[in-house]
Amino acid sequence: GIQVEQSPPDLILQEGANSTLRCNFSDSVNNLQWFHQNPWGQLINLFYIPSGTKQNGRLSATTVATERYSLLYISSSQTTDSGVYFCAVLKAAGNKLTFGGGTRVLVKP
Amino acid sequence: GAGVSQSPRYKVAKRGQDVALRCDPISGHVSLFWYQQALGQGPEFLTYFQNEAQLDKSGLPSDRFFAERPEGSVSTLKIQRTQQEDSAVYLCASSLVLYPTSYNEQFFGPGTRLTVL
């Protein structure tokens, strides 16, 4: 099956810092989603981004489908950004999302 | 409600008991998915419904796991004779469109945390 790798696995930031999270995948996809899992376990949709660039407030994401990677940018981080960020992909002609291992982010005040 | 809802939020079972987990998808969403998330890991696919039809159950770990969606809306995941290795968070997701189409964003419920003693 398709492999999804996220890096770094852990990230500690000082409040106000910027960061980049990466997601590499091993095959063609027709869906890529970024999620934030909060401390209560809820998966919050950040971006639906099979290709191109999108921005939402302090967050932005870029997917380069031909090179099989996606990046999530967090600018001016806040303590509420803490949690686990997951990248998940849906293989072309597939139906199930395959998740990466996540990046655990801790933003310190 | 506006989002996917799941009940119960927490379930403690003794080994060998049967459990039933419920999922209410977003109204009008045709596709429904169940995922299992072990501690410290990403969610893993269990099964997929399109309306009432179960089209993919390749992720179900054993024949003790059974899912249904008889009327194409609410779904139930049943685990028979629970084992300690079944302890995990069970997530339900729904999606508006039919596969394969270009837009297929999935939205997740809050999950049911199952602990088997």
The chain-wide mean pLDDT, for chain A, equals 95
Residues of B28-41 as b/e, b for ≥16 C-beta within 10 angstroms? ebebbbbbbbeeee
Q: Which of A42, A96, A100 sits opposite B110 (nearest CB)?
A: A42
Residue B68 CA to residue B60 CA, distance in Å, equals 13
Q: Which amino acid is at B64?
A: R
Q: Would you give the end-to-end CA distance of chain B in angstroms?
A: 33
Q: B98: Cβ–Cβ under 8 A, 6 or more apart, which residues?
A: B30, B31, B50
Residue B24 CA to residue A75 CA, distance in Å, equals 35
Q: What is the pLDDT of residues A43-53, one digit of tens each?
A: 999 999 999 99
B108 inside 8 A of chain A by CB: yes
Confidence of residue B98 (pLDDT cuts 50, 70, 90): low
Q: Which of A48, A96, A101 sits opposite B105 (nearest CB)?
A: A48
Residue A45 CA to residue B81 CA, distance in Å, equals 34
- pLDDT above 70 for A2: yes
Residue A58 · residue A75 · CB < 8 Å: yes
Confidence of residue B1 (pLDDT cuts 50, 70, 90): low
Residue A67 CA to residue A55 CA, distance in Å, equals 21
Q: Which of B35, B89, B93 sits opposite A41 (nearest CB)?
A: B89
Residue B35 · residue B104 · CB < 8 Å: no
- pLDDT above 60 for B99: no
Contacts A86 to B, Cβ<8 Å:
42-43
The answer to whether A95 contacts B42, with C-beta atoms less than 8 Å apart, is: no
Distance of CA B71 to the CA centre of its chain: 16
Residue B27 CA to residue B74 CA, distance in Å, equals 10
Which residue of A42, A89, A95, A99 is the best one to mutate when testing the B interface, meaning the one whose CB has the most B CBs within 10 A? Answer: A95
Q: List the single range of A81-85, B67-71, B96-100, B107-111 with lowest mean pLDDT.
A: B96-100
* Tokens found for residue B63: 């024949």
